[in-house]
Structure 1
């Protein structure tokens, strides 16, 4: 069934199917690549817009905290009031910025571990802010900061610094993982492109092989038929087995039509050559027989010579020559010469007009080839009895519309050409 289906698929249909498969494969590959690229773009966008922004804000918080910490240390260590007001303003401004950044992070964080770290950071910052505010109030009133407050400040500063560092490192790790994932996705996409290109080339080669092999097979079938042509005899040419209705099938059908035309033309040429050969042979035979009859004056001798020559020339096995004697209703045809390959005595001794097949031919003045020989017909009699031939040729000898003699021949097979020769003889 598969083979029949393949043979019924034409050359043009194969091309449509082949290129359709290639286009479908290219479309699927393009869709997969677009989806992968979109996913990679999304990851890159997350890296740039999300991870990077979070790391940036964590870095800003760390920087602002460092600035505030330096200002606060200056307040603690500076017993003079100069610069305290400016330091307090800077600390207050930085605190507001840090709180703003912490609120932004709280709104955009989507990782549970990051949220936990941020919550600890916010709590520690709130506690740190209280101690910071105590130190600022003492500075405003020109009071010395108690050592206990300073110790508490240092502890909270260390904890807050650690939380900020942890949060920043966590976000940097996430960004690093995202970068690695993007890089891996890029490699995967590149591998997919290479594999898809290889598969596409393989599919194209397979489809090309399928189309070319099918076409080559059909053309080889036509070529094999052409190589089996016998150019010496164009009367019988091989035919192409047309299995498809495509362009290749049309070539095969055209070859078959051409072969039929060549056979007809060759057969006509062969028949013409045979006719020419038969005419030449007949003219040569007549010339030989005309030469043979010279200087013969007795009719019986002439008849004997004639029948001895005519039987082999006509490819007959036996024959008899009857000469008309008498006039009108009393006329009868008497056997004056006979010939047989087995030296029998062919023919009857005499017959009249209309008597038997020979008499009917004499009466009708027409030659006849008899293939359906009657059961009671016999031409040769031997010591073992009478034998019936398979084909009889009876030809009257006519001169000036009068039948002068009758020639009767027996053989395995006669045709119209034999009748023409007999009439000419």
Structure 2
């Protein structure tokens, strides 16, 4: 095998290994990016939505507590509009959670939240009806007893969803750390392996060249002390560049020997005449 072929073979092997390892690293980095997207875009958005809904329900409770104290009809109607707006915002957040939450356990918890939220909204509208009908005492009773109890139950379910989403967030974060550590280790192994393969190929080629050149040098060095009638020959054991040098030397040696023989015969013939 020629040294050019050996070098190309070694480089090709190194290139294949690099492509495989780079492909593996790219796959790991893709998973790492997916985990980060899951943390930032998915889990965080769901946690934020749960927190937003808690804030919206708190705001709704504040408005309901205020409307039972209103005396003027205009103020009652203004507060009613604010309550309906707050209900709309909370309902939109609820719809977002129903659309985005996928895990079965989370969907079960969310179904409980939906039931409690609908009951809370119904109680809120009951308060508005009582206030508009002038039944302030009943409205105050609903706000102070039923509405607060329903709010506590609703918040309890929201906190359960929040805890579950936080556990998923922690799992995604832990996966990201594992993927990062794996990528870091794989990159170090990749660098080490590439260096090792490169050194091995270099030593393989250099050792072969050095060993064969040493043999050629030792044979060529004996030419000076020999007559032109008989030159040493270089054993040709390979079909590489060193073998080509050996063939060229042997051919030159044969030519010189033939030239020396012819010159000797010519001199003998001249002496006979």
TM-score of Structure 1 vs Structure 2, range by shorter chain = 0.7 to 0.9
Indicate conservation of the 8 Å contact 1:230/1:237, yes or no.
Answer: no
Aligned residue among 45, 66, 71 for 1:80: 71
Q: TM-score, normalised by structure 2?
A: 0.86
Matched, 1:192 2:186: yes
Structure (1 or 2) with the greater helix fraction: 2
Q: CA RMSD in A?
A: 2.7
2:207 to 213, 217, 221: 213
Q: CA deviation at 1:271?
A: 7.7
Q: Where in structure 2 are there 5+ consecutive unaligned residues?
A: none
* Alpha carbons of structure 1 residues 232 and 210: separation in structure 2 relative to 1, 3 Å: closer
Which among 34, 38, 43 is matched to residue 26 of structure 2? 34
Higher-Rg member (1/2): 1
1:165 offset after TM fit, Å?
2.5
Q: State how far apart, in whole Å, the 1-side matches of 2:70 and 2:239 are.
A: 108
Q: Which has the higher contact order (CA 8 A, sep 6+)?
A: 2
* Match of residue 109, structure 2, among 87, 102, 117: 117
Q: Could you say what secondary structure the match of 1:83 adopts?
A: helix
Distance 1:91 1:172 in 2: 30
Q: Higher strand proportion, which one?
A: 1
Superposition TM-score, scaled by structure 1 size: 0.57
| Counterpart Cα distance in 1 of 2:178 and 2:25 | 15
In structure 1, stretches of 5+ residues that fail to align are 1-8, 280-416, 421-425
* 1:310 paired residue number: none
**Poorly superposed stretches of 4+, deviation over 6 Å:** 268-273
Q: CA deviation at 1:63?
A: 1.8
Contact 1:135 1:145 survives alignment (8 Å): no
Question: Is the 2:35–2:172 contact (alpha carbons within 8 Å) kept by the matching residues of 1?
Answer: yes
Q: CA shift at 1:202, angstroms?
A: 0.9
User: Aligned residue for 1:165?
Assistant: 159
Deviation per CA, 1:77-116: give whole Å up to 9, x if none. x253473322222221121222222122212211112112
Q: Which residue of 2 aligns with 1:14?
A: 6
**Alignment: residue pair count:** 268
